[in-house]
Structure 1
Amino acid sequence: MLNDTLNTGLLLDKLPIGITVLNPDLEIEYANPLALKIMGLKENQTIGKLVSDPQWLLVDRFNEPLPLEKYPAVQVLHNKSAIDNFEFGIYNPEKKEYTWLLSNAYPDLNKHGEVTQIIVSFTNVSNQKEAIPFEQIVHNANDIVVVTKAEKLRNGGPEIIYVNKAFSTLTKYSEEEALGNTPRMLQGPKTSSEMREKIYQHLCKGEQVVDEIYNYDKHGNEYWIDLNIVPLKNSYGKVTHFAAIERDITERKHHEHNLTEMAMTDALTGLANRRSFYGKAKLALYEVIKQKSSLCLAVVDIDYFKKVNDTYGHDIGDEVLVKIAELMNNNTRDTDVLGRIGGEEFAIILKNLTKENGMKRLEIIRRSIESTSITLSTGNSLSLSVSIGFTDIIPESKNIDEMVKQADLALYQAKEGRNRTVYYS
């Protein structure tokens, strides 16, 4: 019988694994020397103690407290069946460290199928868990790694419990400054509120988040990161932490911005090109319709520009285009949209201006060009003029293509006499 064997204690005392024996009340009746050594306890701290005794803390692989019903002995008592290779940790408060155990447990049943004793064996696998120094790998990785608790997602944000060296390198916050804080310490005026809400919604559902976000370092410098937030679950499927893996993509975003600017900007004048102008014009039209406001669209053409090219050459013609663009830009408001949509043809969106006020603004532009003597790189000076055709909008009655056609028709009338502004009617 098992009890007879236990009475001798000789065999179990010599085994190279830890052995504990518990009664059906989950009270420890026996612990061999290796079990005591592994647990870091003395015999008088163990024998007669309940498995739920608060002097030891059992944790799962995420260092979260192990629920009592998941203790190996408790599972065996309830299920009356053995469990194999169950991994857990015991926290030693004096040493402030965990001992990791791989455990097997099985019941000793009487002829009625009742549990009379529970035998738990375990080996110390702490060294095996640390065989690959993952913490060192993560801490020295080039990518940023931030780990937070999965709590207080809305009120202040989840608490940071780990950052690696790359985090401090990019953000300029030390590890001490980051721990106990929240990721919101990195957010600022340009951090998208929509993105923050998206992250919050995904985290509440325990879902992964992959996106890009705008952040700020300790000194207020802006940067972009590629963000991948992964929920970490314990062995029971509960999300206990979030791990954010981040990569600095600021240089890439700047490059993308420059490419976008190049694609949307007229290389000669620096104004919006045709594609960009139409996009901005459609957006402006949408806004004024929504606000029930007013808008004018004008098309501007340089008078006798072909003669300039024929007389002075295309290089001088380019100089003229640049000078005319500058004059128009100097006489438009910040809210207006100015673009070059053809060779010597420009277009202007005048926001929140009626037909009458639009005429006044366009006349200011026309007169400024008429009264300016343009000095060329050759030393010559030119006096030029422009013809302007424009139309306005009654909300919900037109679209940009229609307005451009109407402005072109008005421009055709203006070109009949040159150097004048004509409203489409």
Structure 2
Amino acid sequence: MPMLHYFKQSFLLTQWLILGVALLTLGGATGFNLYVERNRTESREQARLLTQAQVIQENLEQNLVAVSQVLADLRKETQTQQPKADTGLNGRLSMLSDAMPGVRTLLLLDGDGKVFASNRPELLGGNFAYRDYFKAARQNPDPDRLFISAPFKTTLGIYGINVMRIISGTRGEFSGVIIATLDSEHFKTLLASVLYASDMWTAIAHGDGIQFLMVPEREDQPGKNLAQPGSFFTRHRDSGKETSFLTGIVYSTGEERMMALRSIQPAKLRQDKPLVVAVGRDLNIVFAAWRRDVQSQGGLFGLIAVSSSLGLFAYQRRQREFARREAEVAETLAASERFMKSLTDNIPGMVGYWTRELRCGFANKAYLEWFDKTPEQMRGIHIQDMMGDELFRKNEPFISAALRGERQRFERVLTKPDGSVGYTWAHYIPDFDGSEVRGFFVLVSDITDIKRTEFALAESEWKLKTIIEAEPECVKILAADGTLLQMNRAGLEMIEAESDSQVIGHKLTEIVAPQYREAFDNLNERVNRGESGTLEFEIVGLKGGQHWLDTHAVPMRDVSGRITGLLGVTRDITGRKQIERKLEQLAQTDFLTGLANRRHFMSLAEQELSRTTRYGGPLSVLMMDLDHFKNVNDTYGHKTGDMVLQRMATLCRKALRDIDAIGRMGGEEFAVVLAQTDRERALEVAERLRKAIFDAEVPLEQGVPLHFTVSIGLATLTNADTNFDTLLSQADQALYDAKQTGRNRVCAYAHRNSVSMNGHTP
């Protein structure tokens, strides 16, 4: 007995150990899954922020390259001349500033800091020798250096950044500077265009750490010094890398954020200082969904741990009670007569004998206990008196058959005297004396526990089926050959089936989109080898609907561990795919006009040029710029200016073909790629478009409608080796000629000379 007690205690401890290991495994898996999900969330957001920062970086680099080229050209024109006031030069500066949406002001200062040319008449004659940016250029008169000034308050009270080049005299001495002041409003639009979440902000800072812009705008940010110990700016600058991704407390705002930073300092420009772009998101919002998952999964784990511990405690308590009762029965049996002990030790269940007169000749202890009788009460009792009338009527056919010499086996539900219900499996075995039946033996097995186990199993199966049917995602079981064996209601709805009879026994590859069938079959093969896997694929439902699905599949095994099929859980990700396509479209579209943005237009143009180069045929490019558009903004306001840009886009769509690519290059500048169009046909198209714009009008809330015109430059592909940048530059040169020769006209580029199709000037 002590040894038996020791093994029972050891078994109970083993059960607790198994439960503990299972809970630790589940907890570890849950924690690891949450850790992986957090890293996945951070990596995904990091990639998006770095991409948005790159968009700003590329745009700023393009602006700086363009401004640098303009400054170099102006220096070349003025370097051999004595600095002096020049009305024609002022006009040239005005035209250049209008053509560059990122530039607000162009200035030429002599060696004493006095303004002798500017696109802004109010600045002529002013002296800016006291400005830090002028001092820095005079102290380091490197003609090859592109100077980027720290942000400063202009005379107009707004923050600006100057891009400068040195003017050298005939002997190489410092003779002045050429300055382009960047337009903060233009870059605010750029920064706003990459915001895809309400908690985002973007910013541009000088390489010395002075904040230039932040969108959305905050009053205390422009001019703020970010070069503080431990700040994101300082960490990025000290890393020496072009790109950084940091998380923590932002010095400038005190917010906890993740941030992508990119330095802008192209080697070919030889900038004295870089610009730094920052794109950030609020960490709390980025990880909000993940924190909810932590709470829900942690709560579920706690519930599982508590319920399983309580369940095991209750089970062991019941087992101890069963063990105690078994010990009592064993002790009672040990005190019984030898015959009874021998019989009951070898034959489980109820054992009895009934005579032909249906009188009890023998009943073992189990028999007595079942019917709650004492040995004295049982001896000689009639079977009907023991069973009761109802049970006797049910058993009478079996009793009669046994007395005829026929063995009987049947199951019976019995109600005990104490009111409890038991289940038995009975054998009636005839007792022959020669050919005469003297009575029959009764062997009855108590199968109550087995029945209860069957009922519990059936209930468990029912609950599992109910849970699966209630599961909002598709749950399916496939045979090893891919045949569908079972699918819940959510899955049937997902594939547009009215009932499981439409799909059970069929292979799901029949509804998988053709381009994904091979991957779907490969997933099934991997699972049949014992692996698990996931797959995103598209289906065509039984009613023709197209859906994107994400499935996770694992092997199904029998009790011997043999793989018998596949268990898959699938969810409909059509909505997510639609959102992804919408985001891709938004990233390629100019938000104001609905046309392709510069980056997407350049991609479309390169594709069309590649097709033309490969298959042959003509190709033409139009560069268009709205005439005097700055006056429209200054006179009627930016809202009217936006209406003019939108009207321009509408006219382009109507006048051009679907195969033609149209893009807004920035500000009031547009570009068109005319596929399979030669020079003569392109001139006709451009002139027709110019006339349509000339005849168009923009209604105003007050006053007469607004009319506007456009200048168009045209270039046609003449050399298969020409790249698109060259073709666009040629069209831009033709546009410049159209502007110079009076605006509202079409000019075509031809070997450094432009051919003009004169449009009348209104």
**TM-score, scaled to structure 2:** 0.36
Q: Which digits, 9 at most, give the CA deviation of each residue in 1:247-275, with x for residues without a partner?
A: 11222223333333332222211111222
Correspondence 1:402 to 2:726: yes
Q: Which of 577, 602, 611 is the matching residue for 1:253?
A: 577
Correspondence 1:137 to 2:471: no
1:199–1:209 CA contact under 8 A, matched in 2? no
Indicate how the Cα distance of structure 1 residues 315 and 204 shifts in structure 2: closer, same or farther if over 3 A, else same. Answer: same
2:730 is paired with a residue of what secondary structure?
Answer: helix
1:198 is matched with which residue? 519
Q: Distance in 2 between matches of 1:134 and 1:315?
A: 62
Correspondence 1:421 to 2:746: yes
Q: Distance in 1 between matches of 2:672 and 2:587?
A: 19
1:303–1:385 CA contact under 8 A, matched in 2? yes
Q: Distance in 2 between matches of 1:12 and 1:274?
A: 94
Q: Distance in 1 between matches of 2:630 and 2:562?
A: 75
2:594 is matched with which residue? 270
Matched residues, percent identical? Answer: 32
Q: Which digits, 9 at most, give the CA deviation of each residue in 1:277-323, with x for residues without a partner?
A: 22222333333334334432221111121222222121111111111
Which residue type is aligned with residue 266 of structure 1?
D
Correspondence 1:334 to 2:658: yes
Greater helix share, 1 or 2?
A: 2
Q: Which digits, 9 at most, give the CA deviation of each residue in 1:303-359, with x for residues without a partner?
A: 121222222121111111111110011111111111111110111122222333333
Q: Which of 692, 699, 710 is the matching residue for 1:368?
A: 692
Number of matched pairs = 300
Correspondence 1:392 to 2:713: no
2:523–2:535 CA contact under 8 A, matched in 1? no
- CA-CA distance at 1:199 after TM superposition: 2.6
2:643–2:698 CA contact under 8 A, matched in 1? no
2:287 is matched with which residue? none
2:622 is matched with which residue? 298
2:565 is matched with which residue? 241
Which residue type is aligned with residue 178 of structure 1?
V
Highest RCO, 1 vs 2 (Cα 8 Å, sep ≥ 6)? 1
- CA-CA distance at 1:194 after TM superposition: 3.4
Q: Which of 492, 501, 509 is the matching residue for 1:168?
A: 492
Q: Distance in 2 between matches of 1:402 and 1:233?
A: 65
Q: Which of 537, 542, 552 is the matching residue for 1:213?
A: 537
- CA-CA distance at 1:395 after TM superposition: 7.2
Q: Distance in 2 between matches of 1:223 and 1:387?
A: 48
- CA-CA distance at 1:366 after TM superposition: 1.7
Q: Distance in 2 between matches of 1:423 and 1:11?
A: 114
Correspondence 1:226 to 2:550: yes
1:92 is matched with which residue? none
1:374 is paired with a residue of what secondary structure?
Answer: coil
Q: Which of 146, 151, 155 is the matching residue for 2:476?
A: 146
Which residue type is aligned with residue 398 of structure 1?
T
Which residue type is aligned with residue 737 of structure 2?
Q
Indicate how the Cα distance of structure 1 residues 334 and 242 shifts in structure 2: closer, same or farther if over 3 A, else same. Answer: farther
Q: Which of 639, 643, 652 is the matching residue for 1:319?
A: 643
1:289–1:395 CA contact under 8 A, matched in 2? no
Which residue type is aligned with residue 147 of structure 1?
I
Q: Distance in 1 between matches of 2:606 and 2:707?
A: 34
1:301–1:345 CA contact under 8 A, matched in 2? yes
Which residue type is aligned with residue 699 of structure 2?
T
Q: Which digits, 9 at most, give the CA deviation of each residue in 1:154-208, with x for residues without a partner?
A: xxxx432211111123333121112123324544xxx4x4333333344445565
Q: Distance in 2 between matches of 1:315 and 1:338?
A: 22
- CA-CA distance at 1:416 after TM superposition: 1.5
Considering only aligned residues, what root-mean-square deviation do their CA atoms show, in Å?
Answer: 3.3
Indicate how the Cα distance of structure 1 residues 265 and 235 shifts in structure 2: closer, same or farther if over 3 A, else same. Answer: same
Structure 2 residues without counterparts, runs of 5 or longer = 1-342, 350-449, 752-762
Q: Distance in 2 between matches of 1:234 and 1:129?
A: 17
1:364 is paired with a residue of what secondary structure?
Answer: helix
Query: Which moves more between the two structures, 131-140 or 401-410?
Result: 131-140
Correspondence 1:288 to 2:612: yes
Indicate how the Cα distance of structure 1 residues 326 and 377 shifts in structure 2: closer, same or farther if over 3 A, else same. Answer: farther
1:383 is paired with a residue of what secondary structure?
Answer: coil
**TM-score, scaled to structure 1:** 0.61
Q: Distance in 1 between matches of 2:691 and 2:557?
A: 71
Which residue type is aligned with residue 175 of structure 1?
D
Q: Distance in 1 between matches of 2:651 and 2:641?
A: 15
Correspondence 1:346 to 2:667: no
1:183 is matched with which residue? 508
Q: Distance in 1 between matches of 2:708 and 2:729?
A: 25
The structure having more radius of gyration, on CA atoms, is 2
Structure 1 residues without counterparts, runs of 5 or longer = 1-9, 17-123, 152-157
2:593–2:645 CA contact under 8 A, matched in 1? yes
Which residue type is aligned with residue 476 of structure 2?
V
Which residue type is aligned with residue 473 of structure 2?
D
Indicate how the Cα distance of structure 1 residues 128 and 12 shifts in structure 2: closer, same or farther if over 3 A, else same. Answer: farther
1:294–1:395 CA contact under 8 A, matched in 2? no
Q: Distance in 2 between matches of 1:175 and 1:393?
A: 61
Q: Distance in 2 between matches of 1:166 and 1:127?
A: 28
Q: Distance in 2 between matches of 1:200 and 1:357?
A: 52
Indicate how the Cα distance of structure 1 residues 13 and 276 shifts in structure 2: closer, same or farther if over 3 A, else same. Answer: farther
2:141 is matched with which residue? none
